[in-house]
Chain A
Amino acid sequence: MPGGMFERYEQLAGPDEMFDRDGSIRPAYRAFAERLAHWDVAEYHLRQSRADLALLNAGITFTVYSDEQGTERIFPFSLIPRIIGSREWAHVEAGLIQRVRALNLFLLDVYNAQRSIRDHVVPAEVVFGAPEYSLRMVGFEPPLGVYAHIAGVDLVRDQNERFVVLEDNLRTPSGVSYVLENRTVMVRVAPDVFPPHGVAPVNDYPSRLLAMLLEVRPPHVTEADCRVVILTPGIYNSAYFEHSFLAQQMGVPLVEGVDLVTHNERVYLRSTSGLEPVHVIYRRVDDAFLDPLAFRADSMLGVTGLMSAYRAGNVTVTNAVGTGIADDKVVYRFVPDIIRYFLNEEPLLPNVETFAATVPEEREFIRRHARELVIKPANASGGYGVLIGPQASDDRIAETLAAMDAEPRQWIAQPLQEFSTIPTFQDDGLHARRADLRPYILTGASTWVLPSALTRVALRAGSYVVNSSQGGGSKDTWVLTDDDELDEADTPSSTATTGTDAASPSRSSSQSSSQSSSQSATG
Chain B
Amino acid sequence: MMLSRIAESLYWLGRQLERAENVARMVHVDYHASIESGALVGHVPRTWDALIAATGAGDSFVKAQAEDPGRSPADFLVLARDNPNSIRSIVGRARELARTLRPHISREVWEEINTLHLSLNRRTSVSEYELYDLCGSIKRSIETVFGLYDNTVLFDEGREWFRCGLFIERTDMTSRILDTKYHLLLPTALEVGGPLDRYQWGAILRSASAWEAFRKGGRGEISGTRVASMLLFSSDFPRSARFCVRALLRHFGNATELTPPPQRVGPQRLITILDLDLAAMDIRRAMAIGLHEYLDTLQSRLIEIDRALANDIFRALPESV
| A residues neighboring B (CB under 8 Å) | 56-59, 69-72, 235, 240-241, 244-245, 247-248, 251-256, 258-259, 263-264, 268-276
Q: Are A244 and B2 in contact (CB under 8 A)?
A: no
A-contacting residues, B1-47, CB 8 Å: 1-7
- A274 and B313: CB pair below 8 A? no
B321 touching A275 by the CB < 8 A rule? yes
Q: Would A271 and B4 count as touching, CB distance under 8 A?
A: yes
Whether, in the assembled complex, B75 has its beta carbon less than 8 Å from a beta carbon of chain A, the answer is no
A72 to B95, CA, bound (A): 13
Across-interface contacts of B255 in A (CB, < 8 A): 272
* B143 CB to nearest chain A CB (Å): 18
B225 within 8 Å of A by Cβ? no
Offer 15 A-B interface pairs, CB within 8 angstroms, sorted by A: A58-B110, A235-B96, A241-B102, A248-B104, A252-B103, A253-B6, A259-B4, A263-B321, A264-B321, A270-B318, A271-B1, A272-B313, A273-B259, A273-B260, A276-B1
Q: Are B102 and A273 interface neighbours, CB within 8 A? A: no
The answer to the question of B258 belonging to the interface, with a C-beta cut-off of 8 Å to chain A, is yes
B111 → chain A closest CB, angstroms: 5
CB distance from A128 to the nearest CB of B (A): 39
Q: Given contacts A57-B118, A59-B110, A59-B114, is CB(A272)–CB(B102) below 8 Å?
A: no
Which residue of chain A lies nearest to B7 when distances are taken between CB atoms in the complex?
A272
Give which listed residue, B5, B102, B314, contacts A245 with CB less than 8 A.
B102
B contact set with A: CB distance below 8 Å: 1-7, 96, 99-100, 102-104, 107, 110-111, 114-115, 118, 121, 157, 255-256, 258-260, 313-314, 317-318, 321
Taking a contact as CB atoms under 8 Å apart, the answer to whether B258 and A244 are in contact is no
* B102 touching A259, Cβ below 8 Å: no
CA distance A241 to B115 in the complex (A): 16
Q: Are B259 and A244 in contact (CB under 8 A)?
A: no
Chain A, interface SS category: mixed
State whether B313 touches A59 (Cβ < 8 A).
no
Q: Closest A-chain residue to B96, C-beta based? A: A235
Given A58-B110, A272-B313, A273-B260, 12 more pairs with CB closer than 8 A: A59-B111, A72-B118, A244-B103, A245-B102, A253-B3, A255-B3, A259-B4, A270-B318, A271-B3, A271-B4, A272-B258, A272-B314
Give the nearest-CB partner of A60 in chain B. B114
A303 to chain B, nearest CB (A): 14
**Are B4 and A272 in touch, CB under 8 angstroms?**
yes
Point out the residues of chain A lying under 8 angstroms from B259, CB to CB. Answer: 272-274
Residues of A with C-beta under 8 A to B6: 253
Q: Are A275 and B318 in contact (CB under 8 A)?
A: yes
With A253-B6, A271-B2 as given contacts, are A248 and B313 in contact (CB-CB < 8 Å)?
A: no
- B96 to A268, Cβ gap below 8 A? no
Alpha-carbon distance A209/B121, docked complex (angstroms) = 36
Of the residues B5, B118, B258, contact of A273 by C-beta under 8 Å:
B258
- The distance in angstroms between the C-alpha atoms of A258 and B321, with both chains bound, is 16
Which of chain A's residues has its CB closest to B106's CB?
A248
Taking CB as reference atom, which chain A residue is nearest B111? A57
What is the distance, in angstroms, from B58's C-beta to the closest C-beta of chain A?
Answer: 26
Q: Which residues of A contact B318 (CB under 8 A)?
A: 270, 274-275
Given A57-B114, A263-B321, A272-B256: A240 and B3 within 8 A (CB)?
no
* Residue pair B118, A244 in contact (C-beta under 8 Å): no
Q: Is the CB of B103 within 8 A of A248?
A: yes
Contacts of B100 in A (CB 8 A): 235, 244
CB pair B118–A56 under 8 Å, yes or no, is yes
Q: Contacts A253-B103, A272-B256 hold; do A258 and B2 have CB atoms under 8 A apart? A: no
Q: A57-B118, A69-B121, A70-B121 are in contact. Are A272 and B103 (CB under 8 A)?
A: no
- List, in ascending order, chain A residues with CB within 8 A of B104's CB: 248
State how many angstroms separate the Cβ of A188 from the closest Cβ of chain B: 13
Contact present for B2 and A272 (CB under 8 Å): yes
